[in-house]
Amino acid sequence: MERHTSALALVVGSNGSPSGPDLPVHCLRPHAATIAADWFVRHFPGDVLYAVKANPHPAIIDAVYAAGVRWFDVASVPEIELVSARCPDATLAYMHPVKARSAIRRAYFDFGVRIFAVDSSAELQKLIAETNGANDLHIIVRLAVSSDYAQHKLSGKFGAAGPEAVMVLREARAVAEELGVSFHVGSQCMRPEAWRVAMQSVSEIIRAAGVTVDIVDVGGGFPTAYPGLIPPPLIDYIEEIKAAFEEMPVLENADLWCEPGRALCAEAGSHVVRVELRKGDTLYLNDGAYGALFDAAHDGLVFPVQLLREKGRPRRPMKAFKLFGPTCDSIDVMEGPFFLPADVSEGDYIEFGLTGAYGSALATKFNGFGEYIEAVIEDAPMSTMYGGVTQPAEIIALKDAVIEL
């Protein structure tokens, strides 16, 4: 893979003339994933499972492994194959609550997976049948909780609630070697107390079911510092979880797990695109909603941006731009606003920061686009949650987020 000191070095030729790439570039900063994972390993009072879906790039898997992460949340057979091949000593947890029968068999018999999530009796029956009534299963019952404090809600699709949750917990307890509960407060959760509220509602269900619980998995949802979405320091989230865990009606030696995706890899990626056309305050780019900028289009996320120009060019005032991606679809639009120098024009390159989570992982080939260059970039991400000092300075802008270089 190409290696550069910065994204600017990637697009500017050594003789000073622009010789930028024709394709958009996934910039990887594996060192940032290692720093994030190391923070979680040191501060989370339990086991940290990397949610592979957020960024399954082998360099990111290796980077979190290098920080000591040995547990991985996987959601499909290809994710299981990927992690098993790279990290043979890893423990895999198959946390998708709905799995194909063939996938359960492959996971259990071919890869030795013993941890499975379910959120219904029907899925539990499938799991029992496809593992031939195994007696070594660690069954994690996914429960529905509120997503009210999260930017990206995950409550609509998975999670058992009410009497059904009570029934699934009892049924799972009867067959599980270890029984766990899990939930997801929603992605990019801006309020640490969301976990306390969730853990209280999960506790009520455990009490109603009257079961012994060996594992509490508090899911993902830990945030990144995007412009306009600056969360409290991560340590506040850890403190809430620790305190709420103490109050839960679970075994005294119950295990505590978390499954961060975004928080481990968002800072480890950025994305370089080229302006193909300017029409007034609108820029047409060579990547967009069907590519690595999915969240900017569909979730209204405003990534930090910087124009990649040689040093020494005069600074221009900033202006708000709306951005279009390259496909013919009119929903391929990122409203932003994205602030860039007023004279941005065709041929300029823009770097989007903090795209490491759900960026390249979501890119499609729609309309014939979706080809990328990959490069390792050695400098720091545009901002970080892992600055090592207390809030508000903990979220440190490592670069002026909107700058003409």
Task: Give the interface with ligand PLP as residue ranges (CB under 6 A).
Answer: 51, 53-54, 73, 95, 154, 184, 187, 219-222, 259-263, 357
Active-site hit among 27, 189, 265, 328: 328
Beta carbon nearer to ligand PLP, 326 or 356 = 356
Beta carbon nearer to ligand PLP, 266 or 344 = 266
**Min dist. Cβ of residue 222 to ligand PLP (A):** 5
What are the helix and strand counts (H, E) for the chain?
Answer: 12, 21
**Min dist. Cβ of residue 217 to ligand PLP (A):** 8
**Min dist. Cβ of residue 218 to ligand PLP (A):** 10
Nearest to 272 by CA among 396, 139, 376, 387: 376
Token look-up 């809600």 returns 153
Beta carbon nearer to ligand PLP, 124 or 275 = 124
Rounded to the nearest 10°, the torsion over CA 147, 153, 156, 158 is: -80
307 near 404, Cβ under 8 Å?
yes
**Min dist. Cβ of residue 362 to ligand PLP (A):** 12
Residue 387 burial (CB count, 10 A): 17
Beta carbon nearer to ligand PLP, 353 or 356 = 356
**Residue nearest ligand PLP, CB atom distance:** 220
Beta carbon nearer to ligand PLP, 50 or 321 = 50
* Phi and psi at residue 185, to the nearest 5°: -80, 0
27 is catalytic: no
Q: Who contacts 104 (Cβ-Cβ below 8 Å, separation ≥6)?
A: 94, 116, 126, 127, 130, 131
**Min dist. Cβ of residue 97 to ligand PLP (A):** 8
One-letter amino acid of 344: V
**Min dist. Cβ of residue 53 to ligand PLP (A):** 6
- CA–CA gap between residue 145 and residue 191 (Å, rounded): 14
- Angstrom CA distances, 264 to 61, 66, 109, 269, 288, stand at 10, 13, 30, 11, 23
- CA–CA gap between residue 191 and residue 185 (Å, rounded): 10
Take residue 134 and report the two structure tokens written for it.
Answer: 């195994």
Beta carbon nearer to ligand PLP, 217 or 394 = 217
Q: Tell me which residues are annotated as active site.
A: 328
